[in-house]
Amino acid sequence: MSDIFDEVNEDVRRDQYIRLWKAYGKYGVALLVAIVLGTASGVGYHEFTESRAHAVSDRYETAIHLLQSGNEEAALTAFADMAENLSGSYQVLAALREAAILSSGGDRDGAVV
pLDDT tens, residue by residue, 13-65 = 999 999 999 999 999 999 999 999 999 999 999 999 999 999 999 999 999 99
What are the DSSP calls for the chain, one per residue?
A: -HHHHHHHHHHHHHHHHHHHHHHHHHHHHHHHHHHHHHHHHHHHHHHHHHHHHHHHHHHHHHHHHHHHTT-HHHHHHHHHHHHHH--SHHHHHHHHHHHHHHHHTT-HHHHH-
Q: What is the pTM assigned to this prediction? A: 0.65
If one compares 43 and 101, the residue with the highest pLDDT of the two is 43
